Amino acid sequence: MRCLLTARLDTQVSNQLIQSGRVANLMQQIVAEIKPEAAYFLPSAGRRSMLFIVDLADPSELVTKGEPFWLALGADVEVTPVMTQEELSRGLQALAQNVSKYTS
């Protein structure tokens, strides 16, 4: 299942990593491990943040995708299922075939 993984970094932890010069290597390592389809970096809610599109073949992959952010960066992590426009279209077509069950 395709998901949006949002990581908001702890400011003190990320400040220390930046000051030590370790942040670039650590980020490269984490991105290489989670293998995102897309990656974006931004400020969000006043914190350094990252958005990744990841494909989870199994729910157990939440552990390997999320833990690096908690362990190394003290981040708050959210995982949200997402879909492409094509996937939404397929879902809407299936809904249209069954919508009468839920209305009337």
SS3 call for 80 = strand
Cα–Cα dist 1/20, whole Å: 36
Tokens linked to 26? 């650590």
Question: For 1-36, what is each residue's pLDDT tens digit?
Answer: 999 999 999 999 999 999 999 999 999 999 999 999
Q: Per the structure, how many domains does the chain have?
A: 1
Residue 104 lies inside a defined structural domain of this protein? no
Residue 67 structural domain: 2-99
Cα–Cα dist 101/9, whole Å: 45
- Count CB atoms within 10 A of the CB of residue 8: 21
pLDDT for res 104: 65
Report pTM: 0.87
Q: For the domain that residue 34 is a member of, what is the CATH number?
A: 3.30.70.120
Residue 64 lies inside a defined structural domain of this protein? yes
